[in-house]
């Protein structure tokens, strides 16, 4: 009797990171639109730490998480568009989308730290910079959000296309972490290492916030 082989693709840290984004972004949207700024900022700190840790994991993480293994040059991208096949991990277009989404998520979080709203909330780093910078960051927070929404919509359409039209089981692989059909890579790196990276990111963010100057008093 033969049993299906499970080739490791997405390690646990990548999957936890990914599936936290869905409720996380939904919550940020709701709190941002309804002005629940305390909750908005706490959830944002969690997301910033997750995104920064994912970027670090892109250098030291498991095989398919590492940028050097999935980022390819224009030649390979064009070749993939001409002859698309099934790829273990991100395909060349998925790789571009990953970079765009990670970049936009980071920009959203960082611009938020310097943003102010029209009521009484200020991002914790707003008063490191001058008024012009705060205005630019606040504006960018809004523009970047529109870009992020567009890229998330594109991401969902692309996933639906590969999943249902091309019949590639991307969602199952992102959920279970392994593929029964594709060749796997080296074993996953320790999730404990990812936890250390996350704790370091949280420590740095906490230090930056704790050291930031207080907002000016208007009275």
**137 within 8 A of 143, measured Cβ to Cβ:** no
- Given 12, 71, 72, 101, the residue binding ligand HEM (CB under 6 A): 101
The least CB distance from residue 116 to ligand HEM, in Å, is: 6
* Helix-then-strand count for the chain, H and E: 8, 2
Token pair recorded at residue 206? 């906490």
What residues contact residue 86 under an 8 Å CB cut-off, 6+ apart?
166, 168, 181, 182
Judged by CB, which is closer to ligand HEM: 1, or 119? Answer: 119
Question: Which of these ranges, 21-29, 75-83, 129-137, 193-201, lies near ligand HEM under the rule CB under 6 A?
Answer: 21-29
Judged by CB, which is closer to ligand HEM: 102, or 147? Answer: 102
Strand partners for 122 = 116
- Given 13, 61, 62, 108, the residue binding ligand HEM (CB under 6 A): 108
What residues contact residue 56 under an 8 Å CB cut-off, 6+ apart?
197, 201
The least CB distance from residue 165 to ligand HEM, in Å, is: 14
* CA count, 13 A, side-chain hemisphere, 147: 16
**44 within 8 A of 21, measured Cβ to Cβ:** no
- Given 7, 8, 12, 21, the residue binding ligand HEM (CB under 6 A): 21
Q: Select from 5, 6, 8, 2 the least CA-distant residue to 188.
A: 8
Does position 100 interact with ligand HEM (CB under 6 A)? The reply is: no
Token pair recorded at residue 152? 């998330």
Judged by CB, which is closer to ligand HEM: 1, or 161? Answer: 161
Does position 50 interact with ligand HEM (CB under 6 A)? The reply is: no
Does position 33 interact with ligand HEM (CB under 6 A)? The reply is: yes
d(CA 93, CA 157): 13
Does position 147 interact with ligand HEM (CB under 6 A)? The reply is: no
Does position 61 interact with ligand HEM (CB under 6 A)? The reply is: no
Residue with tokens 């395909």: 91
Binding-site ranges for ligand HEM (CB under 6 A): 14, 17-18, 21-22, 25, 28-29, 32-33, 37, 40-41, 44, 47, 54, 90, 94, 98, 101-102, 105, 108-109, 112-113, 115-118, 121, 123-124, 138, 141-142, 145, 152, 155-156, 159, 170-171, 174
């Amino acid at each position: 009797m033969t049993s299906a082989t499970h080739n490791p693709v997405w390690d646990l840290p990548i999957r936890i990171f990914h599936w936290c984004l869905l409720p996380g972004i939904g919550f940020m949207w709701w709190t941002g639109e309804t002005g629940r700024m305390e909750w908005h900022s706490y959830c944002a700190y969690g997301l910033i730490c997750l995104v920064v840790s994912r970027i670090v994991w892109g250098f030291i993480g498991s095989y398919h998480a590492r940028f050097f293994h999935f980022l390819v040059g224009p030649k390979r991208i064009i070749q993939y568009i001409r002859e698309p096949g099934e790829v273990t991990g991100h395909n060349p277009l998925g790789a571009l989308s990953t970079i765009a989404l990670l970049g936009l998520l980071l920009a959203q979080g960082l611009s938020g730290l310097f943003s102010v709203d029209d009521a009484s909330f200020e991002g914790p780093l707003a008063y490191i910079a001058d008024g012009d910078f705060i205005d630019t960051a606040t504006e960018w927070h809004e523009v970047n959000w529109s870009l992020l929404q567009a890229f998330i919509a594109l991401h969902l359409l692309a996933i639906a296309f590969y999943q249902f039209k091309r019949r590639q089981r991307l969602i199952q692989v992102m959920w279970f972490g392994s593929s029964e059909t594709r060749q796997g890579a080296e074993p996953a790196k320790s999730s404990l290492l990812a936890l250390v990276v996350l704790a370091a990111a949280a420590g740095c963010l906490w230090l930056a916030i704790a050291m930031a100057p207080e907002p000016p008093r208007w009275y």
